[in-house]
Amino acid sequence: MRTRPDTTDTPDAGRNEPMDHTSPARAAALNAVTTRKVADWWTTEVSDIEPGVIRFRGYPVQDLIRRASFVETIWTMVRGSMPSPAQAALLEKALVAAVDHGPQAPSIAAARMAATCGVGLHGAMSTGVGLLGDVHGGAGQQCVELLQRLVTASGGVEGADGGSSPAAVSLEEAVAAEVAAHRERRAYIPGFGHRFHPRDPRRDPLLEFVQEAVDAGVVAGHHFAAAQELEAQLSVGRERPIPMNIDGATAVIYAELGFTAELARGLFILSRSVGVLAHSWEESRSGRRIKGPMPPPLLPTYAGHAERAWAAETAETP
C-alpha cells in the first residue's frame, strides 16, 4: 500500500498516512467475499486437516498407519471407503505387475536420460511420467473403455435393482462388431498383443487371480468374460494367437473392481512411477553426464542432401 511522503510545512509532518486506492470494482469484490466463501474455495471430501488432526476420508491417520496397507490406503483415498481384503489383494496384483518394463519403455529411457542432465531426481521422474500419454501409457484406459462398451452392449451391466439389463446382442456378437469396426479402420485394439513379448509373462498370473476372484464372488466377471472373448476372436484364423498384454490384464482387474477408465490410467501411472523412480535413481548414481538415446560411437541415419556448396548467387542479398 502506498504512503504519503513526509512534508515539513504541515502540522502532520513526519507522519506516513496510508492512501487507499482501492477501485470500486475491487471494493465490491472484497465486500462480496465472506470467510465462508474463502473456506469453501478448496472444499474436499478427501482429507480433513486441523491443528493436531489428520483424517483421510474420515479415517484418522493414526488408524491407517497402524492398520492399513498402502494399497488399502490408495483405494480408500480414491474411492472414499475401505476395500475388502480380497479387493485390495486383487488391486495389489495389478499395481505390482506394472511397476517397470525397463529402458525399452520410452518413459523409463527418458527418465534415465533426464537424470544425467542435472535436473535432479524430481525432474527425471516428472520427465518419465510426463511421457505416459495416450499411446505409451494409455492403452489400459482405452481397454477399460472397450470392455465397458462390450459389457453394456451384451447386457452385463447390473441395474439399480441388482439384476442385469436385457442384452441387445450376445457377447459374441458385440465382440465381433467391435473387432470388425477396428479392422475396417485399421485401428489397434488396446490391451492385446505385445511388440516385445510373444506372450506377455504378466498375463497368466494376473488372469489366474481374476478367475479366483470371480469364483469367490469378489467380482462379477463380466469384463473378464468380454476380454476372453476378444482374445479368442482376435486369434481366429491366425497362426500365432494375439493374447492379452499387461494393459489388457490390468484393465480387466480395474474394470472388475469398479474403477473408471480414467482412474485405470491414473493407477497405472502410480504403479509405473515406482520403476521410473528406481531407474532415475540408478542412472543418477552412475556418474554419466548428458547421456543421449544412442551410444556415442553410433550416428543417426542421415537421409538429406549430400554436402553441397553455398553459392553466393543463390544467397539473398540485403
Predicted confidence (pLDDT) per residue in 271-306, tens digit: 999 999 999 999 999 999 999 999 989 999 999 999
The answer to whether 94 and 206 are in contact (CB under 8 A) is yes
If we measure between CA atoms, which residue out of 190, 153, 156 comes closest to residue 175? 153
If we measure between CA atoms, which residue out of 271, 250, 269 comes closest to residue 129? 269
* pTM of the predicted structure, to 2 decimals: 0.87
- What nine digits make up the cell of 102? 525397463
Mean pLDDT by 10 residues, the chain (318 residues): 51 62 90 92 97 98 98 98 98 98 95 97 98 94 97 73 62 96 92 86 97 98 98 91 95 98 97 98 95 92 95 63
DSSP state of 40: H
d(CA 194, CA 275): 19
All domains in the chain, ordered by first residue = 22-83 (no CATH), 92-284 (1.10.230.10)
What's the pLDDT tens digit per position in 156-193?
A: 764 444 445 556 799 999 999 999 999 999 998 999 98
Burial class from Cβ neighbours inside 10 Å (0-12, 13-18, 19+) for residue 220 reads middle
DSSP state of 50: E
Q: Which amino acid is at 316?
A: E
